[in-house]
Structure 1
Amino acid sequence: MKTLNLGSSSLNVSEIGLGCMRMSGLSKKEAQYTIENALDLGINFFDHADIYGKGASEERFAEAIEMNPSKRENMYLQSKCGIRSGFFDFSKAHIIQSVDQILKRLNTDYLDTLLLHRPDALVEPDEVASAFNTLKETGKVKHFGVSNQNPMQIELLQKSLNDPLIINQMQLSLMHTPMIDAGLNVNMRHDRAINYDHSVLDYSRLHDMTIQAWSPFQYGMIEGTFMDNPDFPELNAKLNELAEKKGVTNSAIAIAWILRHPAKIQPIVGTMNPDRLKAIARASEVELTREEWYELYLSAGNTLP
């Protein structure tokens, strides 16, 4: 498994991360096998959030591997906070309380990265900065980031922060490409030219932030996967053609398409199936040409100006 540095930090992690949202649905034995399989594949980055399974996914993770210092040093743990029932909360009290609860559930002393989970319209940047300073000074969090935020929201936060935000977790897949579409359709008068996220992909490259791609096999937000879906025949035909050509599965090609982008995007895959994860991990071995990348983009129903 190839590695990448997260943002401007020295954290050198697997270029594919495992999202643990569904881990609460596994038995202890199943979760243990899933985690050990990921580590054997070279995947050492694990993405959590306090809302995944209402905290049960973090608990199952720690229980499954019987967390201890020697195991902890071989992995990178990320979690997210800020989503509450019916509202968002980036208050200092909630951030610090959330991290304390996360650390307890994960049975660890620190997080490598903490992300603010979606934007809070009532955010007070100085308050967030105070929370981050406390967490950094007490050794509970090493680095910070955000999710689903645009460049101006990031700039507003960054103005008050002492440390750079190194991650922005955004939805990206072959069937969800607004970050890429607008950049290809500048000055055009159609939907793909709409700059929904204020050039966040270019911003991340300019400011050394890592984009983490969530739901890399999904279309829409909750509609489902495009993989082997008869509603997307052209895309799946191209995925299967390249999979056969490269000697991997179609899921590996879908992830390789994300990895091919020079922004060094880190896909976060959520499968709890060890065999599927093994197949996906081979994306790290795949080299797509520029032509193949564009062929996949076009087969997803996109057009070029």
Structure 2
Amino acid sequence: MRTIKLGSTALEVPVVAVGCMRINSLDKAGAERFVQTALEQGANFFDHADIYGAGTCEEIFAEAIHMNDSVRENIILQSKCGIKPGVMFDFSKEHILASTDAILKRLKTDYLDILLLHRPDALVEPDEVAEAFDRLESSGKVRHFGVSNQNPMQIELLKKSVKQPIVANQLQLSITNANMISNGINVNMENSSAINRDGSILDYCRLNDITIQPWSPFQYGFFEGVFLGSDKFPELNKAIDEVAGKHDVSNTTIAIAWLLRHPAKMQPVIGSMNIERLKDCVKAADITLTRDEWYSIYRAAGNILP
């Protein structure tokens, strides 16, 4: 699969990341088939979080891939920490360190390639985060660090103390959830698309060599459903299907190719456990939409051009 450099690092990663949030929906044999198929497709970047399946997803993955030193050398592992579900967000040094140790134990590995802070903690102390990152880096437990769902000033606040580069920012982005793109197109206009809800995070990440990892690339709203095939988006599906027909691929492939066409060099995180859908997502790495195709899909989703 086509690769990009992750953030400012020299680490080459596939342009499509495999999200493992739902791997606990598969039985043992199904999980093994899914992971093996991903590897066969060149999709060797696996995204986790300590809260997925209350930690069981990381355990299931480690069993499914038959984790050992040889396997570990050929995959890229990313996980996230910082959420205590329904209770609080926690970026304290103690929580980051303890969470990372637990993640490593569940994944049966000595190190993570990337650790992300999952959601912004209102009580964050940048110095504590810096201490945790320094200890994790010096011990070899984590090689690179990033964030998830953070705006530019939150990242800048961390960078006041954290010396390691922030290499990734995982953000909700899809054709129907594209405000980070549309607010840039509608600058200074009196319409809802001009509302800047994220502090220009798209441009900030491009300026600072931070790889955006779109999550829920097929969802509309906040996990309200998938827009592909939905009768709520007839014009969008018509436009996607027309482009898919031109390229002789599925609508799934085009939805991911739309994200990959953006010059920010994003790395979408695919959450489906369906093997055929995974294959369709991987095919997007070989397709480059034309400017006309990209904008036709953008407009068909209801996004306006001023």
| Partner AA of 1:28 in structure 2 | K
Distance 2:53 2:83 in 1: 13
Partner of 1:9: 9
1:63-100 CA-to-partner distances (Å, cap 9, x unmatched) read 11110011011110000000003210000000000000
Distance 2:7 2:249 in 1: 29
1:183-234 CA-to-partner distances (Å, cap 9, x unmatched) read 0011111110011001000000100000000000000012010010011000
Partner of 1:165: 166
Q: Is the 8 A contact 1:116 1:145 kept in 2?
A: yes
Q: Following superposition of structure 1 onto structure 2, how do residues 15-94 of structure 1 map, counting pairs within 5 Å?
A: 15-85=15-85, 86-94=87-95
| Partner AA of 1:232 in structure 2 | F
| Partner AA of 1:231 in structure 2 | K
- How many residues were matched structurally? 305
Distance 1:276 1:24 in 2: 17
Q: Is the 8 A contact 2:16 2:281 kept in 1?
A: no
Q: Is 1:176 matched with 2:177?
A: yes
Residue segments in structure 2 that go unaligned for 5+ positions in a row: none
Distance 1:233 1:169 in 2: 29
1:121-175 CA-to-partner distances (Å, cap 9, x unmatched) read 0000000000000000000000000000000000000110111100000000000
Q: Secondary structure at the match of 1:155?
A: helix
Distance 2:96 2:219 in 1: 29
Partner of 2:248: 247
Normalising by structure 1, we get a TM-score of 0.99
| Partner AA of 2:30 in structure 1 | E
Q: Secondary structure at the match of 1:142?
A: strand
Distance 2:298 2:280 in 1: 22
| Partner AA of 1:224 in structure 2 | G
Distance 1:287 1:94 in 2: 42
Partner of 1:275: 276
Q: Is 1:209 matched with 2:221?
A: no
Distance 1:272 1:91 in 2: 33
Partner of 1:191: 192
| Partner AA of 1:208 in structure 2 | D
Q: Secondary structure at the match of 1:154?
A: helix
Q: Is the 8 A contact 1:249 1:280 kept in 2?
A: no
Distance 1:64 1:282 in 2: 24
Distance 2:39 2:5 in 1: 18
Distance 1:250 1:298 in 2: 16
Root-mean-square deviation (Å): 0.6
| Partner AA of 2:69 in structure 1 | P
Deviation at 1:281, TM superposition (A): 1.1
Give structure 1 regions of 4+ aligned residues with deviation exceeding 6 angstroms. none
Q: Is the 8 A contact 2:34 2:275 kept in 1?
A: yes
Q: Is the 8 A contact 2:44 2:75 kept in 1?
A: yes
Q: Secondary structure at the match of 1:61?
A: helix
Normalising by structure 2, we get a TM-score of 0.99
Distance 1:133 1:297 in 2: 42
Distance 1:263 1:278 in 2: 23
Distance 1:187 1:24 in 2: 46
